[in-house]
Amino acid sequence: MKYLRVALPLLLLPAPLLLADTRDAALKLSDVVISANRQVQARNDSSAANTVFTRDDIDRLQPGSVSELLNRVPGVQVSQAGGRGSLASIYIRGTKSAQSLVLVDGQRIGNSTSGDSNLQHLNIQQIERVEVLRGSRSVIYGSDAIGGVIQIFTRRSSESGLQPRLHMGFGSNQSWERSLGLSGGNEQTRFNLGASLDDSNGIDRTHTSYPSDGDRDTYRNQSVSFSLSHAFNDDIEAGLNVLDNRGKSEFDNPFGRYDANYQVFQQKPYSKFTVSGVSSYVDARMNEAWTSRIELGHSENREETLDKLSDDRSVFNTYRNSLSWQNDLVLNPQNSLILGGDWYEDQINGSTAFAEDSRWNRAAFIQHRFEGQLFSTELGLRRDQNQQFGGQNSWSGTLTVPLNPDNDLLLSYSEGFRAPTFNDLYYPNDNGFKNSNPDLKPETSKSYEVQWRSQLSDTTRLEASLYRTDIKDAIVFGSDGPQNVASARINGFEAALKQELLGWQSSLGLALIDPRDRDNGYTLTRRARRTLSLDLDRQFDQFGVGASWQAVSSSYDDPKNQQRLGGYGLLGLRGSWAVNPEIKLDIKLDNLLDKNYSRALYQHQGKQYAYREEGRALMFGVTWTPRL
């Protein structure tokens, strides 16, 4: 791949600049978080409300996609318009997709035209770990992190020797899962190589529509991942991570297309997609108090939309290069600093001639942490300078008070912002209609939060958050094009309870939100006010059983709250059997009650319809991990 040339020179830096890292080993642990401050720290020491899924969690829960996994996180809703492979809209704490940042191995993967991340195309078999931060992290990450941050880490190796793996799965709607991988290494060098091929006949996503829409919408995804790290000595490590997902996704167009005579013509549209990224890093422990990390990355988010019945074609491609440098300083046992700088440049290319097709962003940030016996504090500041909109400051602060050894109270304030997309700023005007506005300002936010973290017993932990987020200068598309005219107020409560009782492992997530447009009082679109998720699992020697329940209240599909989306509840069952140390069988049954539900609506010939979601679905899989 051509973008490998961007990352490889970093690996050739002189050895004195490098250092050894324990991050690969930390990726296997459930009680640490890496994304909050871009460093390994205990989850309970992080100021961010967070949820972590390790590879063991993914294997146990058997999610078919990243979207399915994220719906288990309190305060996170993922809405798709028609099942597997369809566009995934992410709502973290009531914010929209473009107001939440998605990273893969530290690299932004969102496209710069619409702001969508296309995370529905990330293959779950190539993922080692998923971390979700709820609440603004703009001090650490800059633009887009108003609602929170989702970081996905690709598969890694942490053991010596060779560990091959092979997975095959088959299920409803002629869905196939195939993946293989090989990982291994020694104390100095570790690697992982994996490849996957998933395809499905899909479902017919729309109801009454044009005859050309009456077919199944198939989906195909090919994925490759590679990671390599080498420790030159106890203080030096360098590495490379690569992920490439590409394939084809068919979809329906119930809105119709019109020719020059304004006559409707039928379509069978589909898209070819690529979501890929490469990152290389150098870690150096300069001395006992100072560690430094340099990362260089490149990501691509490409989409070409075609039609089987016409010559229609559109292309929207985003190419992004990035560089970051972070320094972690331990001043004394109570005080530490994070100092860093970021730079990235976005380049777009496609079938639409934008007024501008590139822009850069550079930033510097600092964060101080004090840890005392009676309280701890965290105070951060970031300054972003953007080629289009100029400068933006972001502040954050957290006070942590340990009530006793088992209970912590956290009070937080954070600011965030979102830079306008290329569509917002530069999309060409059409027949006198204004589609963009180069004078747009960034959307900004202020968030206030109270967290309570309690170890109720040796086997029971409760984490709860009460928060408020105010968003101003929100971008709204009107007759004069996009304008900074809207504001929003989001109040919310989240709780996550994990417990082990009589061998049963349970995880309960609850979220209550009130997301409103401050100008008219309407509820923001596609945000359910109440969500609940429950996972219950038990291991009986070689056999494992589990169940999942997800309940989502009603929401609205339009800004004026006239089009109601009904609430729904989904029940799933799963099981596993370790036949021997090398062979494991998995089975899961999603939507056991065959619930008819929808997460989005559409209009067709003046009538309102709902996009279909997949009904009852069975998936059977076998995983072979031979011992060499």
- DSSP letter, residue 529: S
Query: Averaged over 170-178, what is the pLDDT?
Result: 95
Query: Averaged over 368-387, what is the pLDDT?
Result: 96
Instruction: Tell me the average pLDDT of the chain.
Output: 90
Prediction pTM value:
0.93
The pLDDT of residue 451: 98
Give the percent of the chain with pLDDT over 70: 93
**Is residue 163 pLDDT above 60, yes or no?**
yes
DSSP string, 253-296: -TT-EE-TTS-EE---EEEEEEEEEEEEEEEEEEETTEEEEEEE
Query: Averaged over 583-608, what is the pLDDT?
Result: 88
Domain ranges of the chain: 4-624
Task: Please tell me the least confidently modeled range out of 2-6, 302-306, 340-344, 486-490.
Answer: 2-6
DSSP string, 140-206: HH-TT-SSEEEEEEE----SSEEEEEEEEEEEGGGEEEEEEEEEEE-SSEEEEEEEEEEEE------
CA pair distance 426, 229, nearest whole angstrom: 41
Token reading at 471 = 């968003």
**Is residue 600 pLDDT above 50, yes or no?**
yes
CA pair distance 38, 45, nearest whole angstrom: 13
Task: Give residue 16's identity as a one-letter amino acid code.
Answer: P
- DSSP letter, residue 97: G
Token reading at 329 = 């300083």
CA pair distance 416, 394, nearest whole angstrom: 6
275: Cβ contacts below 8 Å, ≥ 6 apart: 109, 118, 119, 121, 122, 245, 246, 300, 301, 302
Per-residue model confidence as pLDDT tens digits over 96-152: 999 999 999 999 998 999 888 889 999 999 999 999 999 999 999 999 999 999 999
Token reading at 234 = 């106890």
**Secondary structure (3-state) at 105:** coil
DSSP string, 359-412: EEEEEEEEEEEEE-SS-EEEEEEEEEEETTTEEEEEEEEEEEEEEETTEEEEEE
CB 174 within 8 A of CB 619: no
Higher pLDDT, 387 or 252: 387
Task: Give residue 613's identity as a one-letter amino acid code.
Answer: E
DSSP lists the bridge partners of residue 282 as 294
Burial of residue 274, with CB atoms counted within 10 A of its CB: 0-12 exposed, 13-18 middle, 19 or more buried: middle
Instruction: Work out the pLDDT band at 16, boundaries 50, 70, 90.
Output: very low
DSSP lists the bridge partners of residue 369 as 336, 378
**Is residue 464 pLDDT above 60, yes or no?**
yes
β-pairing, 601-604 vs 607-610, is: antiparallel
543: Cβ contacts below 8 Å, ≥ 6 apart: 575, 576, 577, 578
The pLDDT of residue 212: 63
Task: Give residue 52's identity as a one-letter amino acid code.
Answer: V
Query: Averaged over 166-190, what is the pLDDT?
Result: 94
Per-residue model confidence as pLDDT tens digits over 406-448: 999 999 999 999 999 999 999 998 877 788 999 999 999 999 9
Q: Give Cα separations from 180 to 89, 123, 124, 153, 353 (angstroms).
A: 30, 12, 13, 18, 41
Q: Give Cα separations from 589 to 15, 574, 592, 593, 613 (angstroms).
A: 52, 6, 6, 10, 15
Per-residue model confidence as pLDDT tens digits over 223-260: 999 999 999 999 999 999 999 999 999 888 776 666 66
Give the percent of the chain with pLDDT over 90: 76
Task: Give residue 150's identity as a one-letter amino acid code.
Answer: I
Burial of residue 255, with CB atoms counted within 10 A of its CB: 0-12 exposed, 13-18 middle, 19 or more buried: middle
Which helix (H) or strand (E) segment is 5 a member of? helix 4-7
Task: Give residue 476's identity as a one-letter amino acid code.
Answer: V
The pLDDT of residue 8: 39
Q: Sign of the CA dihedral 299, 305, 311, 312? A: negative
Per-residue model confidence as pLDDT tens digits over 607-626: 777 888 889 999 999 999 99
Task: Give residue 263's identity as a one-letter amino acid code.
Answer: Q
**Is residue 385 pLDDT above 50, yes or no?**
yes
Taken as a whole, the chain contains a residue count of 628
CA pair distance 208, 517, nearest whole angstrom: 33
The pLDDT of residue 3: 37
Q: How many CB atoms lie within 10 A of CB 412?
A: 22
**Secondary structure (3-state) at 420:** coil
Burial of residue 97, with CB atoms counted within 10 A of its CB: 0-12 exposed, 13-18 middle, 19 or more buried: buried
**Is residue 390 pLDDT above 50, yes or no?**
yes
Higher pLDDT, 218 or 14: 218
Instruction: Work out the pLDDT band at 321, boundaries 50, 70, 90.
Output: very high
Closest CA to 460 of 399, 405, 406: 406
CA pair distance 511, 513, nearest whole angstrom: 6
Alpha carbon 524 to chain centroid distance? 21
Q: Sign of the CA dihedral 22, 25, 26, 27? A: positive
Which helix (H) or strand (E) segment is 426 a member of? helix 422-426
> What CATH number was assigned to the domain covering residues 4-624?
2.40.170.20
The pLDDT of residue 1: 42
Higher pLDDT, 207 or 279: 279
Q: How many CB atoms lie within 10 A of CB 440?
A: 20
